[in-house]
Amino acid sequence: MAAATLLLALAVVTLGSGHVEAFDPNPLQDFCVADPTSKVHENGVACKDPAAVVAEDFLFGGLDKPGVTTSKRFGFTANQVQIPGLNTLGESHVHLDVAPGGVFPMHYHPRAAETALVLEGSVYFGFVSSYPDNKLYAKVLRKGDVFAVPQGLVHFLHNNGTAPTTLYASLSSQNPGLVLLGNSLFAGALPDDLVAKTLLTDKHTVETIKANFRRP
């Protein structure tokens, strides 16, 4: 009886530990360079033949050159840094360009923490802690500054200066996910009265804001 109880306790602890620590799975080999031509569907991208792997599979150049901002609505552009050699290693990277006055609006990544490095310019960057504190942690970042955002917390950036800003963001998941709060509320199919009650406002206000999100 005692032995059975001990085994049950160990099983519960093992299952609990696995749940708490579960993020991207650990790799089973040195690397698994992504093979975009493979037709195999799996949790990630199929591995390239190790014999065909070259140094360029781990390289991405040009980050020292600023890009252009293509979002007319928010004034920023986010481009994923494509490094095939990072496949299955539980991380991803993004190059961001933000025009003067531009914002990366309030959002969160459900599966990843984030660190952002300012390559050029300055930006107001921060996050808000969870309910009930809802405390703001924010700083004006300048070239060479790094700011960290814990997993799943709402964060934002605003280029409130007069020059373009370029950032490099690293995320702790190959598929971090992205939830834009404004789009979730106003660009989806949520009923107007529900959104109005959630925001302590009226349906007319919600309809007006939704019309803004329908514009290109």
* Binding site members for Mn(2+): 107, 109, 114, 155
Give the contacts of 144 (CB within 8 A, at least 6 positions apart): 117, 118
Question: 49-82 as b/e, with b when 16 or more CB fall inside 10 Å?
Answer: eeeebeeebeeeeeeeeeeebeeeebbbbbeeee
Give the contacts of 198 (CB within 8 A, at least 6 positions apart): 185
Annotated binding site: 107, 109, 114, 155
HSE value, Cβ hemisphere, 13 Å, CA-based, for 156: 17
SS3 category, 27? coil
Q: What is the DSSP letter of 44?
A: B
Q: What is the dihedral of CA 175, 179, 184, 189, to 10 degrees?
A: 0
Rounded Cα–Cα distance for residues 79 and 16 (Å): 37
Annotated binding site for oxalate: 109, 114
